[in-house]
Amino acid sequence: MTSLGIGLIGTGFMGKCHAMAWSHVRPVFGDVPEIRLETLCDIDPDVTQKRAAEYGFARAETDWRKLVDDKRIDIISITSPNNVHREMAVAFLEAGKHVWCEKPMALTLEEAEAMTVAATKAKGRTLLGYNYIKNPAVLHAKKLIDAKAIGDVVHFRGQVDEDYLASPDVPWSKRARIDLWGLGTLGDITCHLVSFAHLLIGDIASVSADMETVVKQRPVPGTSEMREVENEDIAHAIVRFKSGISGMLASSRAAWGRKNLIRFEVHGTKGMLTFDQERLNELQLYMSEGPEETRGFRTILTGPVHTPYGQFTPAPGHQLGFNELKVIEAKHLLDCIANGKECFVNFAEGLKIERVIHGMAQSARERKWVDVA
């Protein structure tokens, strides 16, 4: 394929991020088809027109359905609100497009299942925007685990915390409504943690979870009214993986001081690996080998030896940024399109993640262990 046309729905946080990823994937990696930025779509015509010019898209559009049958578009980036993911993704899949959709998949398990069914029937690739797992540090962790550098994995612990809803003064918004936003912390950030767990350890089989809404009511903007927050601020669980090992997941969107903390610990019979997204260019590795007196956790700074860091800069320790992880994600999609393989996380894998987070919600409500696979 000599070139691929891109359609992008959404001009917010992740829309811009996709646009930047599409404009960098070829400069960075070289060995990919030419990328044509065809159509940018969002509801406000003026903003969309302005952003299309800035991002380098050929056209601006306000009706996403116009993109569905546009032959110039090969890949659709969906960064719209979660409640329209299903409708859009299914339509584009049926039209034969490749679909790169932001997480969480959808509002409900049923929607996620419908998307997965559509993906199974479609010829296009699907990829969900689990931003963090294409990090060279994380890919290197995966490689070390697979190579048994820490022996057999015996335990996993993870936490993901932010503070965007820590303040009771943050006003009520649609984020607080289950019918519009779905799950709270579970859908926003816990799902990321599950993406790490599934990548590094394998599928989670069962969960015993708890959850809580810390700020129970929030002020409605422009009024003196307080309105109920319907979804959870904190969610955590003890889990068992299919492989039999145990684990823990912790998450909060009300954790003061945490901006994008995603930590994991992988315990092995011969060592340990830990990572923290707030220092995304570092990996901590302990190996129980060599003289005991010089053992210690090593702070590995990523560099060109950690593929594909070297595509961004030949100089180690220079640090990649969040947006660059998204460029690697775009490259992954292009590779899967080229070689016909499934992406990770495709819709089928994404559905497994949805089952974990919805299973956590169920477990918390029913106060019992729930099977999720």
Contacts (CB under 8 A) with its own copies, residues 328-367: 367
Q: Which of these segments, 77-85, 322-330, 333-341, 344-352, binds its own copies (CB under 8 A)?
A: 322-330
Q: Which of these segments, 72-80, 108-116, 239-247, 328-336, binds its own copies (CB under 8 A)?
A: 239-247
Q: Nearest-CA neighbor of 342 among 115, 76, 124, 112?
A: 124
Q: Nearer to its own copies by C-beta: 56 or 96?
A: 56
> Would you state the torsion angle of the CA atoms of residues 141, 145, 149, 151, taken in this order, to the nearest 10 degrees?
140
Q: Nearer to its own copies by C-beta: 51 or 86?
A: 51
Are 35 and 26 contacting, i.e. CB atoms less than 8 angstroms apart? yes
Nearby residues of 146 by Cβ (< 8 Å), 6 or more positions away? none
Smallest distance, its own copies to C-beta of residue 190, A:
13
CA–CA distance, 167 with 370 (Å, rounded to integer): 32
Contacts (CB under 8 A) with its own copies, residues 195-224: 208-212, 214-215
DSSP state of 283: E
Concatenated DSSP letters for 112-170? HHHHHHHHHH-SS-EEE--GGGG-HHHHHHHHHHHTTTT-SEEEEEEEEE--TTTSTTS
Contacts (CB under 8 A) with its own copies, residues 133-162: 140, 144, 149-150, 154-155, 157, 159, 162
Q: Which of 268, 308, 350, 359 is in the footprint of its own copies by CB under 8 A?
A: 268
Q: Nearest-CA neighbor of 230 among 248, 211, 245?
A: 211
Q: Is position 1 an interface residue for its own copies (rule: CB under 8 A)?
A: no
Q: Which two tokens stand for residue 306?
A: 């950690």
CA–CA distance, 339 with 303 (Å, rounded to integer): 27
CA–CA distance, 30 with 98 (Å, rounded to integer): 21
Q: Is position 174 an interface residue for its own copies (rule: CB under 8 A)?
A: no
Q: Is position 19 an interface residue for its own copies (rule: CB under 8 A)?
A: yes
CA–CA distance, 259 with 277 (Å, rounded to integer): 10
Q: Which of these segments, 90-98, 119-127, 185-193, 282-290, binds its own copies (CB under 8 A)?
A: 282-290
Q: Which of these segments, 64-72, 75-83, 190-198, 255-263, binds its own copies (CB under 8 A)?
A: 255-263
Q: Is position 36 an interface residue for its own copies (rule: CB under 8 A)?
A: no
Q: Nearer to its own copies by C-beta: 68 or 238?
A: 238
Q: Which amino acid is at 178?
A: I
Q: Is position 34 an interface residue for its own copies (rule: CB under 8 A)?
A: yes
Q: Nearer to its own copies by C-beta: 74 or 233?
A: 233
Q: Is position 17 an interface residue for its own copies (rule: CB under 8 A)?
A: yes
Q: Is position 278 an interface residue for its own copies (rule: CB under 8 A)?
A: yes
* Length in residues, the chain: 373
Q: Which of 6, 8, 10, 55 is in the footprint of its own copies by CB under 8 A?
A: 55
Q: Is position 259 an interface residue for its own copies (rule: CB under 8 A)?
A: yes
Smallest distance, its own copies to C-beta of residue 356, A:
15
Q: Is position 292 an interface residue for its own copies (rule: CB under 8 A)?
A: yes
Q: Nearest-CA neighbor of 26 among 1, 47, 48?
A: 1
CA–CA distance, 93 with 81 (Å, rounded to integer): 18
Q: Nearer to its own copies by C-beta: 76 or 287?
A: 287
Q: Is position 4 an interface residue for its own copies (rule: CB under 8 A)?
A: no
Nearby residues of 293 by Cβ (< 8 Å), 6 or more positions away? none
Q: Which of these segments, 61-69, 114-122, 175-183, 292-300, binds its own copies (CB under 8 A)?
A: 292-300
Q: Which two tokens stand for residue 107?
A: 């509002």
Q: Which of 320, 334, 337, 356 is in the footprint of its own copies by CB under 8 A?
A: 320
CA distances from 57 to 7, 48, 89, 218 (A): 9, 10, 21, 39
Q: Is position 316 an interface residue for its own copies (rule: CB under 8 A)?
A: yes
Q: Which of 44, 54, 69, 179 is in the footprint of its own copies by CB under 8 A?
A: 54
Are 9 and 64 contacting, i.e. CB atoms less than 8 angstroms apart? yes
Q: Which two tokens stand for residue 214?
A: 């810390």
Smallest distance, its own copies to C-beta of residue 186, A:
14
